[in-house]
Amino acid sequence: MINGMLHLHIMSWVVLLIVFFAAYENFSDRLGPSQYFKPLMMLLRVFALLAVVSGCYIFFKAMNADAMLYGIKFLLGLLTIGLMEMTLARKKRKKPSRNFFYMVIVAAIITIGLGVHLPLGPITAMFK
């Protein structure tokens, strides 16, 4: 069951990042949102929910492996999702959002790097 949840979690993060970049690019500073912006925002929230639910499941199942690092990854994941929402909200209100965009990229890289390093991560599992 944990392997299926890991695959769901990784897939939801990949789709979440792709949808975030698509939503960010579908909002023009001059013209406003395109016709795809609202459906992309809804899709972003669905996959964010999937990522949080699968992350919670993995977090509670892996508490005996390395609880502190999984806790840090859980908080970084929530921070990344929050930064995605804040970036798109600032873009929607026509405020500068480029710094938030870069923070999303940095937070996502750190979160993914920590997830790969953890005991249930793909790199660690490969070298067992």
Q: Give the pLDDT confidence score for residue 123 in this predicted structure.
A: 65
pTM given for the model: 0.87
Give residue 76's pLDDT: 95
pLDDT digits (tens, 9 = 90+) for 88-106: 999 988 888 899 999 999 9
pLDDT value of residue 89: 92
Percent of the chain at pLDDT exceeding 90: 52
Question: What pLDDT does 127 receive?
Answer: 64
Average pLDDT over residues 11-22: 94
What is the spatial distance between Cα 27 and Cα 34, in angstroms, rounded to a whole number?
A: 6
Q: Work out the average pLDDT over 24-47.
A: 88
